[in-house]
Amino acid sequence: MSLPIRSTADLLAVLRQHPEWREELRRELLTEDLMELPARFRKADRERREDSRKVWEALGKLEEAQRRTEATLQSFLATTEKRFSEVDARLSTLETTLHAFLEATEKRFDAAERRLHGIELELDWMGGKIIESDAQKKLANYLLDHVESAELLDPKTWNRIAAVALRTGAITGEERREIGWADALVVGEAPDTRKPVCGAVEISKALDKSHVERAERRSLLLLQALRAALAAEPEKFADLLPGAPEKSFGFGIGRRIIEEGRRFAQRKGVLFVRYRNGHDRREG
């Protein structure tokens, strides 16, 4: 039977009564593409779910890979830290060893330098003694311009003179020792007046102010001692000097004299005589 349809409400009422008509009506009203939309949506939903599953699976794998990477990195860092600690320990040991080596080496160098300094002092002392011995042997030649026929006072002769001078009170015991420390004591004649003179000599490679001071002081003390001894017992020393010295010289013999010593010698009248070895003497 036919049902009158006058409005959409009637149409909807009929479709409710006959739901089987909906599909046919749908085919009449909708295009084929629209009809296929539900199936497409269901397929798209299935694909979305599959893609989502794959994405989550990939994320899971990525997380696992990240965990493995972190574990590997932690292991690497731990191993590296351990190796650095071992290297630090070895470096510390090396530094300690090196420090001990350098300290020991420094001590050995210090000891070597002290030995070398001692050797240098010994050589310097020996050099001074060689100069002193050589100069004493040729003393008359060195003093020729100021003391003619210069004669070196040997220790025995000096002690005889000193004993008389000490007994007369001309010099003290300390002054006697002071004179005796001179490198050389000489007596002779003045080249111009031929009168007796004497002198005290200081000999060194390099003369300074102290050498000049000693030469002056000892020459004056020697003059006092000789005058006293010849005044007290002239016959005892007649072979040495015919009379008391009228003058005494202070001499300094050396390779060189420092400037301060030179100025002081000029003020005090102490005479500097340059020491000459064999080569120097041949040249003049």
Residue 127 counted as domain residue = no
Q: Return the percentage of the chain with pLDDT > 90, whole number.
A: 41
Q: Which domain holds residue 80?
A: 8-102
Task: Give the domain-ending residue among 102, 127, 161.
Answer: 102
Residue 44 counted as domain residue = yes
Judgement on whether residues 33 and 144 belong to the same structural domain of the protein:
no
Judgement on whether residues 191 and 277 belong to the same structural domain of the protein:
yes
**Mean pLDDT, the chain, as a whole number?**
86
Buried-state track 203-216, b at ≥16 Cβ within 10 A, e below 16: bbeebbbebbbbbb
Judgement on whether residues 205 and 276 belong to the same structural domain of the protein:
yes
Residue 84 counted as domain residue = yes
Taking the chain, what is the end-to-end CA distance rounded to the nearest angstrom?
169
Is it the case that residue 120 has pLDDT exceeding 90? no
Tens-digit pLDDT profile for residues 152-196: 999 999 999 999 999 999 999 999 999 999 999 999 999 999 999
Residue 151 counted as domain residue = yes
Judgement on whether residues 179 and 276 belong to the same structural domain of the protein:
yes
Judgement on whether residues 78 and 26 belong to the same structural domain of the protein:
yes
Residue 256 counted as domain residue = yes
Judgement on whether residues 142 and 15 belong to the same structural domain of the protein:
no
Judgement on whether residues 142 and 205 belong to the same structural domain of the protein:
yes
Judgement on whether residues 97 and 215 belong to the same structural domain of the protein:
no
Residue 215 counted as domain residue = yes
Is it the case that residue 142 has pLDDT exceeding 70? yes
Residue 126 counted as domain residue = no
Please give the pLDDT value at position 283.
41
Judgement on whether residues 209 and 157 belong to the same structural domain of the protein:
yes
Task: Give the domain-ending residue among 102, 121, 150.
Answer: 102
Judgement on whether residues 276 and 152 belong to the same structural domain of the protein:
yes
Per the structure, how many domains does the chain have?
2
Give the pLDDT band of residue 284 (cuts 50, 70, 90). very low
Judgement on whether residues 173 and 240 belong to the same structural domain of the protein:
yes
Asked if residues 217 and 153 have their Cβ atoms less than 8 Å apart, the reply is no
SS3 192: coil
Judgement on whether residues 168 and 271 belong to the same structural domain of the protein:
yes
Handedness of CA 119, 122, 128, 130 (dihedral sign): negative
Tens-digit pLDDT profile for residues 256-269: 999 999 999 999 99
Which residues lie closer than 8 Å to 219 by C-beta, 6 or more apart? Answer: 198, 199, 200, 248, 249, 250, 251, 270
Separation CA 30–CA 24 (nearest Å): 10
Residue 118 counted as domain residue = no
Task: Give the domain-ending residue among 86, 102, 118.
Answer: 102
Q: Tokens 């470096």, residue?
A: 91
Asked if residues 187 and 153 have their Cβ atoms less than 8 Å apart, the reply is yes
